[in-house]
């Protein structure tokens, strides 16, 4: 399994750079994803998206559907793409330490 | 993840690659990023007890095969030749006429000769000849036989997971050889060595654990539908509550989990919910299940045994709830499994009754054995009997074409019902060229478990013929909406359209039905289900 080193920490990641286990997530990981996802500055909006994702994940074991993320944060999908250029799945979920969704999606 | 080339680059396709100069057997496959999916993760194989789980990457030199891997394949091949007479026949009777060669969307879109169905099957057939026929055993390569080596195994894997099992090739085969079945059984062989893709293995493990590919647990499934209930109320002013796991209901409804999670399928799910509410006062007694919460079956892309295991929950849940019959949502391969396999996999469902519409009294003859009816057939019957009040002008902003999903089309002959429904719920419908629809339909390019992110180049290449036909009706008639009755289609077409025909969006049929459905006491609709303003109605006050 590939690993990522950042600010003295080591994380196991999958082929697309998602963290292997949600329990290994920390603030350093957020800064790491910021650095690779082309995000200039971590704002409160980024943190809000990450918090909503994590809260939903802890309750449900999966990421929320995009429409729920959009409604709960109050951010339109277009704005989420502005915050996370790779989008809610590949960008925001990655920063929040959630796994990729699979199936007919 | 590999970068996907630009459309202009992808469109430069050479269909005359000089493969045959050096002999195709002598040229091993080169695994190209963007074309293959990641290898299965050990935790997902372990969860369902599949053999030889390991952490592996398809580009690794060492695939960590068990020492006796050749024996395993030999035995597995022999076993399948004995069990499936079709496989034996398909291995023996191909005369390599080439009628299938240019019918495959992956060959058309890639120009890779090994994507010609005849050659894809020949990859296995050559090993079959060497190991199971006298001619091949004696003459070796001169009899068309070749040794099974690690290189050959890798080539199998690479090309078996570049086939969407769509069966377009078999339509043109004068012998009726079903290359999809060769792929299906070939993939079974790779699974004997723990060589699945993770995009298939993960949904299989999820489905076994939670009942659906996405791993949605019961409380979350209910939450999602309740979210839609709120959304529907915002649009119509009516609260359309749904029932879950209700014992004694007459009908159980099962749909792919993609419909409750991924856009634009979520709007199709809202469409089902609105239809059910509409019919409630007319006598529809239906329940959703948070256990049988998946219509699709990625087990079918793994092995017959896995397909059977994952399919079992449908009848089990129908029995537990004591329903009379099952209604199924808009899905593709789900219907292949239901229509062709379910009865013998997990039937006979003698505890169920032959489906009868409680609204029209129509007996669905085609569902006599499986006891499971397609929602589009159900809705077409409602429209035919004039049971739905419809205002197709609410879909006037759409110029619609219809993609026949491979499995309902070629697997069931399901052509007229969706067209009948669409023509009744919208005013602007245009067919794509005849050689690209109905039984000749072109695949979305991402079926059979290929709808991952890492194989995007393959998907865009495989989807090119379909996209090309969409582009034709877009340019000729201004088509701006591609409709379909498959959850994988709904998930993959948005990417395909953005790539090849960005002016066209994607919808399920029941989203359009619900847009047009007129409810008594509803507030005036100013938007469609997506919240987009309806032209001509946006400035008016609600009544």
Q: Is B488 on the interface with A (CB under 8 A)?
A: yes
Q: Cβ of A90 under 8 Å from any chain B Cβ?
A: yes
Q: Is B203 on the interface with A (CB under 8 A)?
A: yes
Q: Under an 8 A CB cutoff, do A102 and B263 touch?
A: no
Q: Is A65 an interface residue toward B (CB < 8 Å)?
A: yes
At residue B262, φ and ψ (nearest 5 deg) are: -110, 135
The structure's pTM equals 0.96
User: Element (H or E) spanning B327, and its range?
Assistant: strand B325-328
Across residues B351-377, what is the average pLDDT? 97
Provide the shortest C-alpha distance from residue B45 to chain A (in Å): 15
Which of the four pLDDT bands, split at 50, 70 and 90, describes residue B143? confident
Task: Considering only the beta carbons, identify the residue of B199, B220, B331 that sits closest to A102.
Answer: B199
pLDDT of residue A103: 62
Per-residue pLDDT tens for B284-342?
999 999 999 999 999 999 999 999 999 999 999 999 999 999 999 999 999 999 999 99
CA distances (Å), origin B33, targets A71, B58, B61, B378 = 36, 10, 15, 43
Q: Which of A15, A61, A67 is opposite residue B266, by nearest beta carbon?
A: A67
Span between the terminal Cα atoms of chain B, in Å = 51
The CA distance from B26 to the nearest CA of chain A, in Å, is 31
User: Taking CB atoms and an 8 Å cutoff, what residues of chain A touch B258?
Assistant: 103-105
State CA B513 to chain mean position distance.
22
B335 touches chain A (CB under 8 A): no
SS3 content of chain B, % helix, strand, coil (to 5): 50, 5, 40
- As for the ipTM of the complex, it is 0.94
Number of CB atoms found within 10 A of residue B181's CB: 18
Q: Is the pLDDT of residue B146 over 90?
A: yes
Written as one string, the DSSP assignment of B135-195 is HHHHHGGGGT-----HHHHHHHHHHHTT-----HHHHH-TT---HHHHHHHHHHHHHTTT-
Each residue of B190-241: pLDDT tens digit? 999 999 999 999 999 999 999 999 999 999 999 999 999 999 999 999 999 9
Which of B99, B156, B103 minimizes the C-alpha distance to B127?
A: B156
**Interchain proximity A66–B263, CB inside 8 Å:** yes
What pLDDT, on a 0 to 100 scale, did the predictor assign at position B16?
A: 84
Q: In chain B, what are the domains?
A: 9-30+51-195 (1.10.1060), 204-516 (no CATH)
Mean pLDDT of the B466-479 span = 98
Task: Provide the percentage of residues in chain B whose pLDDT is more than 90.
Answer: 93
- Does B1 contact chain A (CB < 8 Å)? yes
The b/e string for B467-490 (b: 16+ C-beta within 10 A; e otherwise) is bbbbbbbbeeeebbbbbbbbbbbb
**Site from A86, A100, A102 to mutate, B interface, most B CB atoms within 10 angstroms:** A102
State how far residue B14 is from chain A, nearest Cα, in angstroms: 31
**CA of A33 to nearest chain B CA: how many angstroms apart?**
15
Residues of A in contact with B488 (CB under 8 A): 104
Contacts of B358 (CB under 8 A, 6+ apart): B250, B251, B282, B283, B284, B285
User: Which pLDDT score is estimated for B140?
Assistant: 86
> Residue B363's CB: how many other CB atoms inside 10 A?
12
Instruction: Convert the pLDDT of each residue in B411-421 to its tens digit.
Output: 999 999 999 99
User: What are the distances in angstroms from CA B266 to CA B225, B442, B491, B507, B529?
Assistant: 9, 24, 10, 10, 10
CB contact (8 A) between residue B203 and residue A1? no
Query: Please, which residues 256-285 of chain B have a Cβ atom closer than 8 Å to chain A?
Result: 256-258, 260-263, 265-266
Please list every residue in chain A whose beta carbon sits closer than 8 Å to the beta carbon of residue B216.
60, 62
> In the predicted model, what is the mean pLDDT of residues B448-462?
97
Q: Mind telling me how many Å the CA of A100 is from chain B's nearest CA? A: 10
**Closest-CA distance of chain A to residue B489, Å:** 8
> Residue A62 is nearest to which of B199, B215, B256, comparing CB atoms?
B215
Facing B203 at nearest CB: one of A15, A71, A103: A103
A1 touches chain B (CB under 8 A): yes
User: So which residues of A are the catalytic ones?
Assistant: 104
Q: For residue A105, list chain B residues with Cβ-Cβ distance below 8 A.
A: 214, 258, 261-262, 451, 491
Q: Does B57 touch chain A (CB under 8 A)?
A: yes
Nearest CA among B59, B63, B117 for reference residue B90:
B117
What mean pLDDT, rounded, does chain B reach? 96
Check whether B543 has a pLDDT greater than 50: no
Please tell me the predicted confidence (pLDDT) of residue B142: 86
Could you report the per-residue pLDDT of B129-140, keeping only the tens digit for each?
Answer: 999 999 888 988
Average pLDDT over residues B24-31: 88
Nearest-Cα residue of chain A relative to residue B39: A15
B540 pLDDT band (50/70/90 cuts)?
A: low
- The answer, yes or no, to whether the previous bond of B182 is cis (omega within 30 of 0) is no
Q: Among A23-32, A96-105, B426-435, which is the least confidently predicted range?
A: A96-105
Average pLDDT over residues B384-389: 98
Q: Give the residue-averaged pLDDT of B438-448.
A: 98
Domains and CATH numbers, chain A: 3-96 (1.10.10.370)
What is the average per-residue pLDDT within A66-89? 94
């Amino acid at each position: 399994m590939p690993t990522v080193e950042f600010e003295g920490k080591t994380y196991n990641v999958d082929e697309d750079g998602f963290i292997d286990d949600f329990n290994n997530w920390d603030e350093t990981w957020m800064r790491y994803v910021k650095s690779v996802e082309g995000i200039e500055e971590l704002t409160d909006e980024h943190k809000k998206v990450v918090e909503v994702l994590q809260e939903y994940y802890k309750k449900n074991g999966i990421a929320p559907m995009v429409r729920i993320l959009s409604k709960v944060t109050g951010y339109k999908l277009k704005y989420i793409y502005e915050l996370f250029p790779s989008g809610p799945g590949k960008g925001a979920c990655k920063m929040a330490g959630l796994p990729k969704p699979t199936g007919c999606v | 993840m590999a970068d996907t080339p630009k459309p202009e680059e992808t469109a430069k396709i050479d269909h005359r690659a000089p493969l045959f100069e050096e002999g195709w057997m002598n040229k091993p496959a080169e695994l190209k990023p963007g074309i293959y999916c990641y290898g299965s993760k050990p935790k997902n194989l372990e969860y369902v007890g599949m053999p030889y789980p390991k952490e592996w990457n398809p580009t690794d030199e060492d695939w960590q095969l068990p020492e006796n891997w050749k024996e395993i394949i030999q035995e597995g091949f022999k076993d399948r030749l004995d069990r499936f007479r079709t496989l034996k026949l398909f291995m023996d009777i191909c005369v390599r006429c080439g009628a299938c060669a240019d019918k495959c969307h992956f060959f058309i879109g890639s120009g890779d000769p090994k994507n010609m169905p005849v050659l894809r099957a020949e990859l296995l057939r050559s090993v079959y000849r060497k190991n199971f026929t006298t001619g091949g055993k004696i003459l070796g390569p001169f009899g068309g036989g070749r040794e099974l080596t690690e290189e050959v195994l890798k080539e199998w894997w690479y090309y078996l997971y570049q086939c969407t099992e769509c069966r377009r090739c078999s339509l043109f085969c004068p012998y009726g050889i079903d290359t999809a079945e060769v792929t299906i059984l070939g993939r079974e062989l790779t699974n004997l060595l723990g060589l699945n893709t993770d995009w298939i293995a993960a949904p299989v493990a999820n489905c076994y654990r939670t009942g659906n590919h996405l791993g949605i647990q019961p409380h979350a499934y209910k939450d999602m539908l309740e979210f839609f209930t709120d959304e529907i109320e915002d649009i119509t002013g009516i609260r359309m509550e749904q029932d879950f796991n209700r014992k004694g209901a007459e009908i159980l409804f099962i749909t792919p989990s993609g419909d409750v999670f991924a856009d634009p399928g979520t709007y199709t799910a809202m469409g089902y919910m609105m239809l059910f509410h509409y019919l409630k006062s007319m006598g529809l007694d239906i329940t959703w299940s948070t256990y049988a919460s998946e219509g699709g079956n990625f087990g079918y892309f793994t092995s017959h045994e896995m397909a059977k295991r994952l399919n079992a929950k449908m009848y089990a849940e129908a029995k537990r709830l004591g329903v009379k019959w099952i209604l199924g949502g808009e899905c593709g391969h789900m219907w292949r499994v239901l229509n062709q396999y379910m009865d013998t996999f997990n039937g006979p469902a003698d505890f169920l009754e032959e489906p009868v519409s409680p609204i029209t009294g129509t007996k669905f003859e085609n569902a006599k054995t499986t006891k499971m009816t397609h929602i589009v057939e159900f809705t077409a019957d409602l429209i035919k009997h004039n049971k739905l009040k419809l205002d197709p002008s609410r879909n006037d902003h759409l110029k619609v074409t219809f993609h026949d999903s491979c499995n309902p089309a070629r697997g069931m002959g399901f052509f007229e019902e969706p067209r009948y429904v669409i023509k009744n719920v919208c005013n602007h419908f245009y067919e794509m060229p005849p050689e690209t629809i109905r039984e000749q339909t072109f695949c979305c390019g991402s079926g059979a478990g290929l709808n991952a992110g890492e194989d995007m180049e393959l998907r865009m290449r495989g989807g090119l013929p379909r996209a090309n036909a969409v582009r034709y009706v877009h340019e000729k008639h201004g088509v701006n909406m591609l409709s379909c009755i498959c959850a994988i289609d709904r998930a993959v077409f948005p990417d395909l359209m953005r790539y090849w025909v960005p002016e066209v969006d994607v919808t399920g049929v029941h989203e359009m039905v619900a847009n047009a459905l007129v409810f008594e006491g509803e507030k005036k609709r100013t938007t469609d289900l997506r919240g987009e303003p309806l032209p001509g109605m946006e400035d008016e006050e609600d009544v």
